[in-house]
């Protein structure tokens, strides 16, 4: 469901849905799907939140870090990047 919402551009709904799921039911694939959709839709704030779950809760890897960097670079080009320390 997270993937479907995220692909449809409903990123906040996808993030809220993931947070409402029991911790054992949500996995790195769902967070990765949300992070990928954030890159497509240029959503830096939710991408940082999804990345936090991947890196700190689930031990995300190189692919997820690359997606976060690409999303940040895309937003820098648009003048909308946030500092990684502004969590």
Single pTM value for the model = 0.69
CA 50-45-20 angle, to 5 degrees, is: 45
Euclidean distance between CA atoms 79 and 18, whole angstroms: 29
Q: Is the pLDDT of residue 9 over 60?
A: yes
Mean pLDDT of 41-66: 75
Q: Is the pLDDT of residue 33 over 50?
A: yes
């Amino acid at each position: 469901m997270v993937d479907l919402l995220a692909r449809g551009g409903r990123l906040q709904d996808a993030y809220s849905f993931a947070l409402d799921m029991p911790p054992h039911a949500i996995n790195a694939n769902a967070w990765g799907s949300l992070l990928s959709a954030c890159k497509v839709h240029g959503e830096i704030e939710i991408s940082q939140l999804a990345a936090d779950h991947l890196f700190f809760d689930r031990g995300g890897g190189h692919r997820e870090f690359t997606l976060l960097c690409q999303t940040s670079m895309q937003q820098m080009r648009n003048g909308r990047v946030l500092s990684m320390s502004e969590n």
